[in-house]
Amino acid sequence: MPSGENGESEILERLKRDGRILPYETRLTRKDGASIDVSLSVTSISDPTGRTIGASILIQDISEKKLRRLSPKGQG
């Protein structure tokens, strides 16, 4: 989970309240120390009694997409 400007606690609180987070843009740090822009989707997994037993997390690197969106038309 991200820990930085958006905060892990905020993400966990939203997941507890809503049961899912779809989509959520944030920045993560790779193992090599580089920061990347990502789209994060999280859905809680519940047992038959409704108790949360885990989470499904999808993370997509959107760095290039974000650069294209910020570039002036005709460049990149």
Collapse the DSSP code of 58 into the 3-class scheme (helix H, G, I; strand E, B; otherwise coil) and give the result: strand
Answer left, alpha or beta for residue 64, where phi above 0 means left and psi between -120 and 50 means alpha.
Answer: alpha
Query: Which band of pLDDT confidence, cut at 50, 70 and 90, is reported for residue 1?
Result: very low
CATH assignment at residue 37: 3.30.450.20
The number of folded domains in the chain is: 1
Is residue 76 included in any domain, yes or no? no
Flag the least confident range among 4-13, 16-25, 51-60. 4-13
In tens, the pLDDT along 12-53 reads 788 888 888 888 888 999 999 999 999 999 999 989 998 889
Is residue 71 included in any domain, yes or no? no
The domain in which residue 40 lies consists of: 8-64
Is residue 65 pLDDT above 60, yes or no?
Answer: yes
Residue 9 has a pLDDT of: 79
Residue 74 has a pLDDT of: 52
DSSP per-residue letters across 34-57:
-EEEEEEEEEEEE-TTS-EEEEEE
Other residues' Cβ atoms within 10 Å of the Cβ of residue 65:
12
